[in-house]
Amino acid sequence: QVQLVESGGGLVQPGGSLRLSCAASGSILRIYGMGWYRQAPGKQRELVADKSASGLTDYADVVKGRFTISRDNAQNTVYLQMNTLEPGDTAVYYCNARVHDWQTIKTYWGQGTQVTVSS
């Protein structure tokens, strides 16, 4: 089994910054893509950003230029630096990883961390 543990969420004022972290642990042979999704109340879960093992990145248009995803492959960790936060960024943020766990390739999710942007 593989576990993803997120941290770094919280309450921040508009214009502020937060940094989310997600560490993967367990029976990991290899991690392919790692990324972040978010889900606001009453809305579907949506991609925020992801990063392949080779370094290719993809961002949702609404966060381009404000958010940066990075990975530490040696530590099986992915980060999301969020700058110039807006109330519309308020959501539960979920870490996602495509993992080869010695038996099969599966997608795992973290438990989610709340980000609230409000004055």
Structure tokens that stand for 33 in this block? 């893509």
| pLDDT tens-digit series, residues 65-78 | 999 999 999 999 99
Q: pLDDT (tens digit, 9 = 90+) per residue, 18-35?
A: 999 999 999 999 999 999
102 pLDDT tier (thresholds 50, 70, 90): confident
Cβ contacts of 8 within 8 Å, gap of 6 or more: 18, 19, 20, 21, 113
Q: What is the pLDDT of residues 80-91, one digit of tens each?
A: 999 999 999 999
User: Tokens at residue 83, please?
Assistant: 């700058």
* pLDDT (mean) for 102-118: 95
Summarised one tens digit per residue, pLDDT across range 53-65 is: 999 999 999 999 9
Copy the structure tokens of residue 19.
């940094």
